[in-house]
Structure 1
């Protein structure tokens, strides 16, 4: 076949270019495969300038803005985004569309069917989990059910997401689990050093729950008689509300840093990482904390359990401030425990969540889909 004579061209499609887990995943994938795969990126938003767009351009990957692509799934907005993406498809003539995040998954699969181009859809977290509000859950279910048949292959970042995917009308041979991964960096935390500063990296919007951390910090202050310093790295629509909550709780040692392009360095300056969330796929920020060798406390959720064995690689707690405060109290009082958990988390990162296995699996999948090879499990 003629396509086999040149590198496959893959158009990555993502809803937003802001800092986030799906964006970090896409960047790690492109960084690993750019020498062998010809990438172009279509990113929702009015400008090609974004944290993700700028990073991709430094790799020599063309970046196209899709102003019509955003969080809205209104019929008119979706139709406009499909038309815009089709224009880019005609211009760049990719062999594959690879979509990330739910709205991009909708738009790319419709455009792919119209253009006759196969679409790989990486699910970073389904929108029909029980924890999601009913109307939003119903809309997400209807979209995924309808578009499952238009999906050449669906990649789930965790086994829990795979179990949800199996409820959809898609053949099991078109489903794979390929876990998230992040590239290694030299920065390492010293979790046993004092004071045991706390850090949370998250977009300040649901499903993330920085409010639980703020309440836990107030409880911790009452138990210890002093405040433990904490940093909240990330921005989002709920930042003002969380700042107001911190003032209401009279927390003086909480730093809202906003988005940062030096997260590994900032993580290494802390001893304890926290991620509280209502639901997750396989959170990149926790993998970054594992890479740094931090002691980790996280919500006890299915995706978290695939990263952390409770008590071995970190602590998993119920989604309430009291449980989080108790875990933080234990960690602040025990430098040796922080060191043990951080060392075990780093070892698990090295064993399971470096980019090479993820990139190999995705590259195999690209070959199968783009060149119509017989299906096999790309994660093997």
Structure 2
């Protein structure tokens, strides 16, 4: 595979399509110029490939594998992925793999982290060591900061004071206890907070990282419990982050930006469910991807359908990264599978063009529904 990108121009919206023109002459003659009839925008459902990556090493066993980022550089795929053990955060890692075709993967021995006494593994770091939830290449950066990563970090506050001993389990226990005790939602939010900040890391090669001294964005008492993404917007010349947001407990996507990676401006909502969507829908994560080679922007957001407790992947499009639209209200990657329906799907960047004119987009598929009940 070469570095070529498909030459086809995607139909994202009606802009670029001649809308026609109609005129009535003084003598009553009516004419129109090339009226566009029989044209409509339609989502072409994606075809699912075979499984392209699965756990096979000891440190990947009994873990959730999450795709942080896939980049295609110099004729090879580069994959940063999370190995997350729900019951053992100390054994959760960020790992690295490479491939020539996107299916046969090599796990290089990085020699960075000891696992059971040996550094002969592809573990890049402990999950909490660097801020690598999302990674992107920065063409405007000096060589030592060509790669950048972002990751939200939360701190627990109780009655307005930092509680360093609080953890997620204890936080939820206290929330439930207050709820059962009749404490109003507004009072619960005042007494118990998770104050979130987005942190950054930089690297020359995507392997050896260092953390920035200060957070790049403080978002306060809000949830960022999803795949929050960073990127460099070439057209705008700005660093951007697509983050989780909420309006009245309904999830949405926010965009933050800045000319300096070390200081982003406050985020604003940019994509949310609208009156054309079912009333029980939320947007879970953005899967923002710049369209390769063109000044276009795509999202492959995961839509959470609360009543069915399922999550599928839809398509959103933009010409500037601020104003987004959706051609149709249906999945581009649905829940169908050869061995029965999936329960939840989550896509990750990036969209990669093939010489055939087709595209690849990585996603994780789970058999369980959002509330962890098995399908069927």
State TM-score, norm by structure 2. Answer: 0.24
Q: Could you tell me the TM-score, scaled by structure 1's length? A: 0.24
Which structure carries more helix by proportion?
Answer: 1
Q: Which has the higher strand share?
A: 2
Higher relative contact order (CA 8 A, sep 6+): 1
